[in-house]
């Protein structure tokens, strides 16, 4: 059976890689789980292995934090010898973090097919580091697994061939459904003194929102105004924690450490409103039917707006507050995008194994040769 490396490195990777790994192993593949070490704090890393039942990584690259170039280079130099040693038949990368791009680049140059899970998403905001990672990772990948039809449309428009593109559904939602009952049994609301349906949950960690003191202050002020009507709980990402030391915090916002997976799902499920700049949280709130305001000017996940509970509210504090009031008074209905059904990991695994089992001459045409550079 084929040997397949699955790469994870940062918080939103763990819940995406787990269903793919499980499905590959259930079909007899040998899976090597490689952790790049991009995230390493107990609250950003260890808790996800415990909560998700993810086995310890088979290999850990220990690369840690750094600038984009430092981090990319460190992951690449640590991953390249591993690929030479293990000679995998394929490498699976998920999402849009720096580790995703770095491992895809090494694999492509080593001649190992790359499967990108969460392909085709586009914010069209080139100032967002993840957008660069998305576009380049897709370009390096032979198998492109889109979570939603908009992803397929984007890939087709960029010249990728239909036989490379798979509408697989959303692996993050596989993990949500698999763990929902356990999450709902969490006592996190009790621990934070929260009443179901009577609080708002917020997260913020996009560099464009938190690295600039003026922008961060404006967004916190918006949360502070909402907190006058509804308690706001804000689990703080480490990037944001550093910045919060420089700006004042309005009354009423309850800062808590980054939440574990089960606790965070429980916090989302019982929130009256979620305010976020996270990619994954836009999707999970849609699946849970909880109203979500995305404090950004663009989203790479438009299906959460057209077929979900998400509203792109921008970053103007007054607009955030007035939209929050409207949504509290008139919440959107729960809707579920198709193929967000708990079986995306199985579809990904089936397609990867079918690809590897096909004689090389029958594999999808390599669209990379026909896409203009
Ligand atoms: C990264 C991803 C982002 C994703 C986010 C999820 C990139 C370019 N960005 O952003 O897409 O949404 O993870 O959470 O890959 N730090 C710690 N402890 C940790 C990890 C990070 O203290 O365990 C601090 C360090 O000071 C580090 C900073 O957070 O420099 C930023 O970490 P980094 O992984 O570079 O980017 P994120 O902002 O976490
Ligand atoms: N998450 C979590 N604890 C938190 C915040 C988020 O477990 O305090 C989970 C969330 O449920 C989702 C994932 O982390 O599964 C989203 O990751 P994040 O927001 O860090 O990254 P993004 O999706 O923006 O890349």
Ligand nearest to the CA of 304: 2
- Ligand 1 mean position, distance from CA 39 (Å): 6
Ligand nearest to the CA of 118: 2
Ligand 2, residue 261: give the atom nearest the CA.
7
User: Do 3-170+340-372 and 179-329 fold alike per CATH?
Assistant: yes
- Best CA proximity match to 76, nearest among 102, 101, 99, 110: 102
- Best CA proximity match to 257, nearest among 115, 73, 47, 53: 47
Tell me what pLDDT residue 199 has.
98
Tell me whether residue 190 is exposed, middle or buried, using C-beta atoms within 10 angstroms of its C-beta: 0 to 12, 13 to 18, 19 or more. exposed
H or E stretch covering 134: helix 129-140
Q: Catalytic pick from 116, 166, 205, 237?
A: 205
- Ligand 2 mean position, distance from CA 11 (Å): 6
Judge if pTM exceeds 0.95: yes
* Angle (nearest 5°) at CA 30 between 27 and 36: 120
- Ligand 1 mean position, distance from CA 362 (Å): 40
User: Is the CB–ligand 1 distance for residue 211 below 6 Å?
Assistant: no
User: Is the CB–ligand 2 distance for residue 278 below 6 Å?
Assistant: yes
- Ligand 1 mean position, distance from CA 309 (Å): 27
Half-sphere exposure for 344 (CA within 13 Å, toward CB): 31
Tell me what pLDDT residue 372 has.
44
Ligand nearest to the CA of 69: 1
CATH code matching the domain that covers 3-170+340-372, chosen among 3.40.50.2000, 3.40.50.300, 1.10.10.10, 3.10.450.40: 3.40.50.2000
CA–CA distance, 248 with 113 (Å, rounded to integer): 48
CA–CA distance, 254 with 271 (Å, rounded to integer): 14
Tell me what pLDDT residue 54 has.
98
Tell me what pLDDT residue 74 has.
98
The DSSP annotation for 258-272 comes to: PPPHHHHHHHHHT-S
Question: What residue's CA is closest to ligand 2, atom 4?
Answer: 259
- The answer regarding whether domain 179-329 maps to CATH 3.40.50.2000 reads yes
**Residue pLDDT tens, the chain, 373 long:** 999 999 999 999 999 999 999 999 999 999 999 999 999 999 999 999 999 999 999 999 999 999 999 999 999 999 999 999 999 999 999 999 999 999 999 999 999 999 999 999 999 999 999 999 999 999 999 999 999 999 999 999 999 999 999 999 999 999 999 999 999 999 999 999 999 999 999 999 999 999 999 999 999 999 999 999 999 999 999 999 999 988 989 988 999 999 999 999 999 999 999 999 999 999 999 999 999 999 999 999 999 999 999 999 999 999 999 999 999 999 999 988 999 999 999 999 999 999 999 877 566 655 555 554 4
- Helix, strand, coil shares, percent, the chain, to 5: 50, 15, 40
Domain extents for the chain?
Answer: 3-170+340-372, 179-329
CA 343 to chain centre: 17
User: Is the CB–ligand 2 distance for residue 284 below 6 Å?
Assistant: yes
* Angle (nearest 5°) at CA 20 between 153 and 109: 70
Tell me what pLDDT residue 365 has.
57
User: Is the CB–ligand 2 distance for residue 263 below 6 Å?
Assistant: no
Question: What residue's CA is closest to ligand 1, atom 17?
Answer: 238
CA–CA distance, 41 with 88 (Å, rounded to integer): 29
């Amino acid at each position: 059976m084929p040997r397949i490396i699955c790469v994870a490195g940062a918080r939103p990777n763990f819940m995406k890689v787990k269903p793919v790994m499980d499905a590959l192993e259930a079909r007899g593949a040998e899976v090597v789980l490689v952790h790049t070490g991009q995230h390493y704090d107990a609250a950003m890393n260890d808790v996800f292995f415990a909560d998700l039942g993810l086995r310890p990584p088979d290999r850990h690259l220990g690369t840690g934090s750094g600038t984009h170039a430092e981090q990319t280079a460190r992951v690449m130099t640590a991953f390249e010898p591993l690929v030479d040693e293990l000679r995998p038949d394929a490498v699976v990368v998920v999402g849009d973090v720096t580790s995703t791009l770095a491992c895809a680049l090494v694999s492509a140059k080593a001649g190992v097919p790359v499967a990108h899970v969460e392909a085709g998403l586009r914010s069209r905001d080139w100032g967002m580091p993840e957008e660069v990672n998305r576009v380049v990772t897709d370009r390096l990948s032979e198998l492109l697994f889109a979570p939603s039809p908009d992803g397929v449309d984007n890939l087709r428009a960029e010249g990728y061939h239909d036989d490379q593109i798979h509408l697989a559904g959303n692996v993050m939602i596989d993990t949500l459904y698999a763990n929902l009952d356990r999450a709902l049994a969490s006592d996190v609301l009790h621990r934070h003194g929260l009443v179901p349906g009577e609080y708002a949950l917020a997260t913020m960690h996009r560099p464009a929102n938190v690295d600039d003191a003026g922008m961060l202050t404006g967004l916190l002020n918006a949360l502070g105004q909402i907190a006058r009507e509804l308690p706001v709980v804000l689990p703080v990402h480490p990037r944001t924690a550093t910045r919060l030391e420089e700006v004042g915090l309005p009354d009423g916002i309850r800062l808590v450490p980054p939440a574990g997976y089960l606790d965070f799902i429980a916090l989302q499920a019982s929130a009256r409103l979620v305010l976020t700049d996270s990619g994954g949280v836009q999707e999970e709130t849609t699946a849970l039917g909880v109203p979500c305001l995305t404090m950004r000017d663009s989203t790479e996940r438009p299906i959460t707006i057209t077929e979900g509970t998400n509203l792109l509210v921008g970053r103007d504090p007054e607009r955030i507050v007035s939209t929050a009031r409207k949504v509290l008074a008139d919440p959107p209905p729960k809707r579920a995008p198709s193929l967000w059904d708990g079986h995306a990991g199985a579809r990904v695994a089936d397609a990867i194994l079918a690809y590897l089992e096909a004689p090389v001459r029958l594999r999808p045409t390599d669209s990379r040769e026909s896409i203009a550079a």
